[in-house]
Amino acid sequence: MAQAAKQLSFAALRRQIKTERPANVYLLHGEEGYYIDALAEAFEALVPEADRDFNLYTFYAPETDINTVVDTCRRYPMMADFQVVVVKECQAVGANELNKLVPYVGASSNTTVLVLCSRGAKCKSKELEKAVAANGGVVFESVKLRNVSEAIAGFVKEKELNIEPKGLAMLADYVGSDLSRIYNEIDKLTVALPQGAMVTPEVIEKHIGMSKDFNNFELVKAMSERDALMAYRIADYFKSNPKNNPFVLTISMLWTYYSNLLLLLYSKDKSEAGLCAQMGRKGNWLSPDYKSGMRMYNAWQLIEILRLIRRADCATKGIDSRRDPYDIVRDLLFNILNATGRV
């Protein structure tokens, strides 16, 4: 089969599976399980439904002898160009067992696509990983999601849509770091919108159900401007819609915002690029929320606020408190807005 690139992104690899002749061997491993599950499904989809009894084999490494996997890979496909052999849960077996696949990888069958899935952990066999890469196979490491906004932006682009900055922030706020949920929500937009359409806050509100006016993005904006009335309205909305507005996420976003704000106040480079770098972000565009916050809060107030957020976080977890978490969040907003900086 065709030689394949040894390192590909998730989007590129999924595209390659659909459009190109696959390589003989794929090793999918790493912390982020969603990518591995999605790619395994893509490989399985290469075999037509009617042919799956003959040309698709799924094994679970802890329950299967490796020699059985190798024997299956050596078989010829039935009335097809190739067969697909998927071995799941490779993370549950040791390196010695996985090493038994190395001789096969070095002389793999051109009529078999072998897919090895180590979900949630890197492959325990360095020897197998090297063999796959050295023999025209593909090694894909599924890295844990670090930047939700980048993942959303990438998937929106992959779906041939565009998204406004506020819409991007709203989605990141709403879906969190659950990749499965991210892809499902954006798939909804793909069905509802034409190719090249712009994903706006109004579109998100209509098709996903998140309020464009009452969300954590707008809450941070209200707090940055010390708009108490709007902040309390959003807090009350959260309490009336707890399923879509978990208080844990609200406290986390407040912590992120105010801790970043403290970093910005102490930054020596006050240019937008310098301030972004201070927060560990690329680019030279600073959110207006941070610009407003730098005017509204001083360092001593921010130190007090971070203490208040930590106490509120403990209280919502039942430490020295049995109050409704949303009432604790509302009181936290009041205390933040009235922080004097006495610590």
DSSP state of 121: B
Report how far Cα 102 is from the mean position of its chain's Cα atoms: 32
Query: In this predicted structure, what is the pLDDT of residue 281?
Result: 79
The 3-state DSSP class for residue 30 equals strand
Q: Which candidate, 34, 290, 264, places its Cα nearest to that of 140?
A: 34
**Do the beta carbons of residue 72 and residue 85 sit within 8 Å?**
yes
Query: In this predicted structure, what is the pLDDT of residue 325?
Result: 94
Answer whether residue 239 shows pLDDT above 90. Answer: yes
Parts of the chain belonging to CATH 1.20.272.10: 216-337
Dist CA 337 CA 317 (whole Å): 23
Say which CATH topology domain 148-207 has.
Answer: Helicase, Ruva Protein; domain 3 (1.10.8)
**Do the beta carbons of residue 329 and residue 216 sit within 8 Å?**
no
Q: Which residues contact 272 (CB under 8 A, 6 or more apart)?
A: 284, 285, 286
Tracing tokens 């310098």 back to the chain, one arrives at: 274
Query: In this predicted structure, what is the pLDDT of residue 343?
Result: 63
Percent of the chain whose pLDDT exceeds 90? 64
Parts of the chain belonging to CATH 1.10.8: 148-207
Parts of the chain belonging to CATH 3.40.50.300: 10-141
* Phi, psi values for residue 292, rounded to 5°: -65, -45
DSSP state of 339: -
Express each pLDDT in 251-296 by its tens digit. 999 999 999 999 999 988 888 888 888 888 777 778 889 999 999 9
Q: Hey, which residues does 88 pair with through a beta bridge?
A: 60
**Do the beta carbons of residue 43 and residue 113 sit within 8 Å?**
yes
Output the six-digit token pair for 5: 């690139």
Output the six-digit token pair for 297: 């809060």
Query: In this predicted structure, what is the pLDDT of residue 155?
Result: 86
Of 3.40.50.300, 1.10.645.10, 3.40.50.2000, 1.20.272.10, the CATH number of 216-337 is: 1.20.272.10
Give the residue with greater pLDDT, 81 vs 144.
81
Assigned architecture for domain 10-141: 3-Layer(aba) Sandwich (3.40)
Q: Which amino acid, residue 21?
A: R
pTM of the predicted model over 0.75 = no
The 3-state DSSP class for residue 211 equals coil
Q: Taking every pair of C-alpha atoms in the chain, what is the biggest distance, in angstroms?
A: 78
Three-class SS of 157-207 = HHCCCEECHHHHHHHHHHHCCCHHHHHHHHHHHHHHCCCCCEECHHHHHHH
Dist CA 246 CA 239 (whole Å): 9
Q: Which residues contact 53 (CB under 8 A, 6 or more apart)?
A: none
Name the band, by pLDDT with cuts 50, 70 and 90, for residue 7. Answer: low
Express each pLDDT in 22-35 by its tens digit. 999 999 999 989 99
Q: Which candidate, 241, 190, 179, places its Cα nearest to that of 213?
A: 241
Dist CA 118 CA 212 (whole Å): 39
